[in-house]
């Protein structure tokens, strides 16, 4: 009866609208019509508000949804009874769920509650039916079930696209993601459901390319990442995967992780470059995650040549990121995009070079890259490039063995003569500080860069001087541990005095800081080496040198400042 009353009111409203249109088209008849039938005021009700009225309100919408659930149980009973072929039941079930999804998309844009409830009804119909038809009745193969889940999610995008029905897309995709993950674990067949999740990820990124439903990207991305992580965990072990999991060909294992990286990589580049969007924190984190998953897939399933090939790809990506950072984002003053892409470039250079180069060429190439990056940073007044140079230099010091040699040269047993690459990296450290010191500002990040670069350069100088003096002393005498301890104290004290003077003389504040840091290093050396393991005579000499240095370092700093003041006055 309520439906008949609603239909009668709708008919009366349509007739009234037709009379008004006729009045607008025929003014002469409109006057008679208006005189004969005066307008009656029509009350306007807020359509977006939730109503508990019998027609179209909350109770009515929920009641229709419950009828939909009852229909789903009826189909389940038919499937259990065997009165219809199971294939026919599958078709009816899919058509039934699709009907509710279409109904949700046909609701007015103001009827958000009804649209959400009907979309939820479609999801509640589809997910349990797929579960039972795949696992219990074994009517649907896993590939068909995964295809249906993917089509359901994509269909929600297509139906909601024109009118921007966010709730339809949200409900359908969340349900599809949870269903795919559940069936992935329950069926032990990963490939089809990971493919469905990749399809959903691609659909969400296509929508993001039009700035639609951006808030849906994180849950879809998290589900796809989790599925790939499960795949790698199960199939990347030394042995075969568990017996109840289906085998997957190696090219498929390799492709799934790479496709996920291509989906999000392409989307991020398109949004930041073509659409000039500021890269978000979700995109930064997701790019790192999918790259790591893809890199692990290549290294694990790509064979013996995987590491060099991945290294070359990383170097190519690094060049592309540098080009985007300095030729595109820097030009349009897109600061966040510039810094993110530049950081990715530096990380990719380190990753690519370490994968495709042996140790010695790696250290040499990183040293050259450090000098080039520092030169370009000074020339273009780009602090980011100078930081990259410092990063490359630190990696070169680690790869060449300079860090290990430095630890042995400054404490403990003196090491053997190092290879030539150690001295090349040490000379590169001094050259980078000398070049980078030409670009000086009062910003904290510039001071931090200069301090870190100066620490590497000073350490290289101390190591060289200690090694040279030890080798010269070994020509004329047999050196013991006490002699080496005195040489170390002497060199570090002399370097501290030189740093204090040169830092104040040429206004290099970081050198004065390092001078006092060198004194702290000598203090620790006396406590933990000389006093515990040294000869009394050598310990006395070391303490004497240390005391003299403590007295002279502040005075050398003042002498340098007086020379600067005198030169300015002249």
Confidence of residue 411 (pLDDT cuts 50, 70, 90): confident
pLDDT average, residue stretch 176-187: 95
In this structure, the answer to whether residues 123 and 11 fall within a common structural domain is: no
By three-state DSSP, how is residue 242 classified?
coil
pLDDT (0 to 100) of residue 539: 87
**One domain, residues 87 and 165:** yes
513 & 409 share domain? no
Query: Per-residue pLDDT for 220 more than 70?
Result: yes
CA atoms within 13 A on the CB side of 342: 23
- Domain limit, last residue, from 429, 455, 479: 479
Contacts for 491 with CB less than 8 Å, ≥ 6 apart: 462, 465, 466, 469
Checking if the pLDDT of 389 tops 90, the result is yes
Q: What is the mean pLDDT of residues 269-297?
A: 95
**DSSP collapsed to 3 states, 119-188:** HHHHHHHHHHHHHHHHHHCCCCCHHHHHHHHHHHHHHHHHHHHCCCCHHHHHHHHHHHHHHHHHHHHHHC
- Using one digit for the tens of pLDDT, what is the confidence trace for 463-503? 999 999 988 888 877 777 888 888 999 999 999 999 988 88
Q: For 397, how many CA atoms within 13 A lie in the half-sphere containing its CB? A: 24
Q: Which pLDDT value is given to residue 435?
A: 87
pLDDT digits (tens, 9 = 90+) for 127-150: 988 998 899 878 889 999 999 999
Residue 83 is predicted with a pLDDT of: 76
Same domain? For 470 and 486 the reply is no
Same domain assignment for residues 467 and 491: no
- Regarding whether 499 and 472 lie in a shared domain, the answer is no
The residue-averaged pLDDT of 26-51 equals: 43
Q: Does residue 439 fall inside a structural domain?
A: yes
Q: For residue 324, count other CB atoms closer than 10 A to its CB.
A: 20
Q: How confident is the model at residue 368 (pLDDT cuts 50, 70, 90)?
A: very high
Burial classification of residue 314, based on how many CB atoms lie within 10 Å of its CB (0-12 exposed, 13-18 middle, 19 or more buried): buried
Residue 458 lies in a domain: yes
pLDDT at 361 over 90: yes
Kindly state whether residue 32 falls inside one of the protein's structural domains. yes
Instruction: Count the domains in the chain.
Output: 4
CA nearest neighbour of 191 among 160, 154, 145: 145
- Are 131 and 157 members of one domain? yes
The last residue of one of the domains, among 206, 222, 253, is 206
Mean pLDDT in residue range 409-433:
87
Is the confidence at residue 15, as pLDDT, over 80?
no
For residue 566, name the pLDDT band (cuts at 50, 70, 90).
low
pLDDT of 259 higher than 60: yes
> Is 293 part of any domain?
no
The residue-averaged pLDDT of 182-197 equals 95
Domain-located, residue 565: yes
* 403 and 437 part of one domain: yes
Q: What confidence category does residue 55 fall into, taking pLDDT thresholds of 50, 70 and 90?
A: very low
> Which pLDDT does position 561 carry in this prediction?
67
Work out the average pLDDT over 153-180: 93
Q: How far apart are CA 6 and CA 17, in angstroms?
A: 17
Distance (Å, rounded) from C-alpha 555 to C-alpha 561? 10
Q: What is the DSSP string of 363-401?
A: HHHHHHHHHHHHHHHHHHT-HHHHHHHHHHHHHHHHHHT
Residues 462 and 381 in one domain: yes
Whole-number pLDDT of residue 395:
95
Whether the pLDDT of residue 546 is over 70: the answer is: yes
Whether 542 maps to a domain, the answer reads yes
Arithmetic mean of pLDDT, 38-46: 43
Asked if residue 340 is part of any domain, the answer here is no
Q: First and final CA of the chain: distance in angstroms?
A: 106
Does 364 share its domain with 464?
A: yes
Statement to judge: residues 160 and 74 lie in one domain? yes
Residue 465's domain spans which residues? Answer: 357-479
Distance CA 81, CA 311 (A): 60
Residue 331 lies inside a defined structural domain of this protein: no
Residues 452 and 519 in one domain: no
Q: With beta carbons less than 8 A apart as the criterion, state whether 267 and 242 touch.
A: no
CB 160 within 8 A of CB 166: yes
The whole-number pLDDT of residue 441 equals 60
Residue where one domain finishes, among candidates 426, 446, 479: 479
Q: Which among 321, 380, 382 is positioned nearest to 350, based on CA atoms?
A: 321
């Amino acid at each position: 009866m309520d439906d008949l009353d609603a239909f009668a009111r709708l008919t009366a409203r349509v007739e009234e609208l037709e009379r008004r249109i006729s009045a607008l088209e025929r003014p002469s008849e409109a006057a008679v019509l208006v005189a004969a039938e005066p307008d009656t005021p029509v009350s306007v009700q807020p359509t977006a508000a939730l109503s508990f009225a019998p027609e179209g309100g909350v109770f009515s919408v929920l009641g229709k949804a419950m009828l939909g659930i009852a229909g789903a149980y009826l189909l389940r009973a038919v499937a259990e009874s065997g009165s219809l072929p199971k294939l026919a039941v599958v078709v009816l079930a899919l058509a039934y769920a699709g009907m509710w999804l279409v109904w949700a998309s046909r609701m007015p844009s103001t009827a958000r509650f009804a649209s959400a409830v009907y979309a939820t009804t479609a999801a509640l119909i589809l997910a349990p039916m797929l579960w039972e038809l795949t696992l219990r009745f074994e009517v649907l193969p896993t590939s068909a079930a995964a295809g249906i889940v993917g089509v359901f999610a994509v269909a929600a995008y297509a139906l909601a696209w024109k009118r921007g029905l966010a709730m339809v897309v949200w409900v359908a995709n969340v349900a599809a993601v949870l269903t795919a993950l559940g069936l992935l674990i329950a069926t032990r067949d990963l490939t089809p459901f990971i493919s469905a999740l990749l399809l959903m990820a691609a659909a969400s990124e296509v929508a993001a390319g039009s700035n639609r439903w951006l808030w849906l990207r994180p849950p879809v991305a998290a589900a796809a990442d989790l599925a790939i992580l499960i795949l790698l965990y199960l199939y990347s072990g030394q042995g075969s995967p568990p017996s109840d999991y289906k085998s997957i060909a190696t090219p498929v294992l390799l492709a799934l992780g790479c496709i996920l990286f291509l989906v999000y990589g392409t989307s991020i580049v398109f949004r930041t470059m073509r659409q000039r969007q500021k890269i978000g924190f979700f995109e930064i984190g997701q790019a790192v995650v999918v790259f790591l998953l893809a890199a692990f897939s290549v290294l694990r399933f790509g064979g013996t040549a995987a590491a060099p090939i991945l290294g070359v790809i990383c170097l190519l990506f690094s060049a592309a990121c540098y080009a985007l950072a300095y030729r595109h984002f820097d030009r349009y003053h897109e600061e966040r995009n510039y810094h993110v892409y530049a950081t990715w470039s530096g990380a990719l250079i380190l990753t690519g070079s370490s994968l495709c180069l042996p140790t010695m060429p790696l250290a040499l190439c990183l040293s050259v890259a450090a000098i080039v990056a520092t030169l370009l940073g000074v020339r273009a007044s780009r602090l980011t490039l100078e930081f990259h140079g410092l990063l490359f230099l630190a990696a070169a010091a680690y790869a060449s063995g300079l860090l290990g040699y430095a630890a042995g040269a400054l404490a403990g047993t003196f090491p053997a003569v190092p290879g030539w690459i150690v001295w090349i990296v040490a000379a590169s450290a001094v050259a980078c500080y000398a070049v980078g010191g030409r670009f000086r500002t009062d910003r904290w990040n510039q001071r931090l860069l200069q301090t870190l670069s100066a620490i590497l350069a000073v350490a290289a100088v101390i190591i060289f001087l200690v090694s040279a003096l030890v080798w010269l002393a070994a020509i004329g005498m047999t050196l013991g541990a006490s002699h080496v301890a005195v040489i170390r104290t002497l060199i570090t004290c002399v370097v501290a005095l030189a740093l204090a003077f040169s830092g104040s003389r040429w206004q290099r504040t970081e050198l004065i800081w390092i001078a006092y840091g060198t004194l702290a290093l000598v203090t620790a050396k006396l406590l933990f080496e000389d006093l515990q393991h040294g000869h009394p005579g050598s310990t006395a000499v070391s303490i004497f040198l240390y005391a003299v240095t403590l007295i002279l370092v502040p005075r050398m700093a003042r002498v340098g400042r007086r020379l600067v003041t005198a030169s300015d006055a002249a």
